[in-house]
Amino acid sequence: MGIQAMKVHQLPRGLIWDHDPPSLSLGCKRFRSLAPKLSNAAADTLSSTTAAASSFDLKSFIKPNQCSPRNVEVHKKESSQVEAAQPGGTRWNPTQEQIGILEMLYRSAMRTPNAQQIEQITAQLGKYGKIEGKNVFYWFQNHKARERQKQKRTSLGLSPSTRTPPPPPASSLFLSSPNKEEENNRYKRKCVFDEEIFSFSSSILTFKLNKKNGPRFTKTIFSLLFGLKW
């Protein structure tokens, strides 16, 4: 079994935003001219690292802690509504045409469009309303995730006996996806992994070991076993 897993890895994926990760700091002003005390220590470090780097203008990058998006417990908004790039609408509000096209693509098996595809889709959807590449990116991510979510919840509700949703052994190899998405093969679900490990069933561990490095791990474990001194 181990060998079947020898899947060669996949192709690289693109981040869709060229130079524009989805605005990572929502309600954060830029503070470009701010020079926190921290910059001193940092500057020292820099000089100690390399002289050349000393030309780096640290101050222009320093950002106060408060800007850390998720950690801010307070004022998220009053820090001025930022650049307010969008006059009014803060987030993308897809039109029916756009949704139609996206769903069509989704049904057509598209799940994780690459950079170029996103570009093209965005261009097309742009005909029906304002849109950015990241909107397309997020749409697919969310759509995928929520489909999985729903599926999980459904299966859970339908089979209450699923105490241990058997990550079916070898047999599943031939039974998989008569009707479902092929994405099952991707990751070993975390929860499943945990469960099995915790229950000491060993099957997962064995599987994993076989899958990843086969004999080598087996050897290691055995030597460990025999060399244990507890």
Contact 18, 132 (CB under 8 A): no
- ∠ CA(123), CA(129), CA(130), 5° rounding? 75
Position 166 contacts a second copy (CB under 8 A): no
User: What distances in angstroms separate CA 3 from CA 109, 157, 172, 207, 210, one per listed residue?
Assistant: 28, 35, 16, 11, 8
Q: Residue 204 CB: number of other CB atoms within 10 A? A: 19
Helix (H, G, I), strand (E, B) or coil at 59: helix
Site for DNA in 17-46 (CB under 7 A): 21-26
* 187 near a second copy, judged by CB under 8 A: yes
- Footprint of a second copy on 82-121 (CB under 8 A): 96-97, 99-101, 103-105, 107-121
Helix (H) or strand (E) holding 42: helix 38-49
**Going residue by residue from 135 to 174, which x/- string records binding to DNA, judged by CB under 7 A?**
x--xx-xxxxxx-xx-------------------------
Q: Are 72 and 27 in contact (CB under 8 A)?
A: yes
Q: How far is CA 40 from CA 61, 66, 120, in A?
A: 13, 19, 46
DSSP 8: P
Contact 28, 82 (CB under 8 A): yes
Q: Which amino acid type is present at position 206?
A: T
Q: Which residue has the tokens 């060399």?
A: 227
**Among the listed residues 170, 177, 166, the one whose alpha carbon sits nearest the alpha carbon of residue 211:** 170
Nearer Cβ to a second copy (24/146) = 24
> Which residues in 23-42 contact a second copy (CB under 8 A)?
23-26, 28, 30, 36, 38-39, 41-42
202 is a contact residue toward DNA (CB under 7 A): yes
225 lies in the binding site for a second copy (CB under 8 A): yes
Q: Please, what is the minimum distance in Å from the beta carbon of residue 93 to a second copy?
A: 16
Judged by CB under 8 A, the residue of 57, 89, 157, 171 near a second copy is: 57
Taking contact as CB under 7 A, which single stretch among the options 9-17, 50-58, 159-167, 172-180 is the one that binds DNA?
A: 9-17
- CB-nearer residue toward DNA: 29 or 148: 148
Work out how close the CB of 86 gets to DNA at its nearest, in angstroms, rounded to a whole number.
9
- Among 55, 56, 60, 92, the residue binding DNA under the rule CB under 7 A is 92
In the complex, which residues of this chain contact DNA (CB under 7 A)? 1-2, 4, 7-16, 21-26, 69-71, 76-77, 88-94, 99, 112, 134-135, 138-139, 141-146, 148-149, 183, 186-191, 193-194, 199, 201-205, 216, 219-220
